[in-house]
Amino acid sequence: MAGTDVASADVVEVDFSRPVAARSVFGLLHGIDMRRPADAMVTPLAPRWWRGDLRSAPYERVRRLGARYIVVLSDLWGYPGANWHGRRPPWEDIDAWSDFVRDLARRHREHDFVWDVWNEPDHPYFWNGTREQFHQTYRAAYAALREELGPRAVISAPSTSAFRWDWLVGLLEYCRLADCEVNALSWS
């Protein structure tokens, strides 16, 4: 679909019943500052993706190293295992969650992010709501990102702790019915 006007695309079909050989992409998680580890240690790894929360890896360095930044929105919001960073769970105040996501999108509009909505919602440290509440949280983030960044923003989920077919299908089915989409499927 590269170069295609997104508004003119009517249907995208994905056939999960037939395996397709694909190369895994290589990326890194968090853990750098502006100087450490030294470029000489990172550059040979040729990371294509770097996943972080804007505090754990500086955007400018990640881009200089040739990687695309995956910003994890939930790392910035908080988790039940960290008392939500003093906030309420997003499903209890969906407007605050939407405003939070919208504000981040406005402040980082010029960055070429992949927007990962929630880290490991299948693990109780990171999520203690229901699957439906996760879907609603995803939908609210999706709507805020689309409103602020338009159709070219890349939004990723469900970012489960392992390959979880039930989570992938569940989110895709939800989005099919709730008029949203997932641009990148992710898991650890």
| Alpha-helical regions (H) of the chain | 39-42, 59-64, 73-77, 94-107, 131-149, 165-178
Q: How many CB atoms lie within 10 A of CB 84?
A: 15
For residue 7, the SS3 value is helix
pLDDT (0 to 100) of residue 185? 95
Could you tell me which residue, 10 or 129, shows the higher pLDDT?
129
Q: Tell me: the pLDDT tens digits for 132-173?
A: 999 999 999 999 999 999 999 999 999 999 999 999 999 999
47: nearest Cα among 186, 57, 35: 57
Q: Tell me: the pLDDT tens digits for 108-142?
A: 999 999 999 999 999 999 999 999 999 999 999 99
Q: Distance between CA atoms of 108 and 188, rounded to whole angstroms?
A: 25
Q: Tell me: the pLDDT tens digits for 52-67?
A: 999 899 999 999 999 9
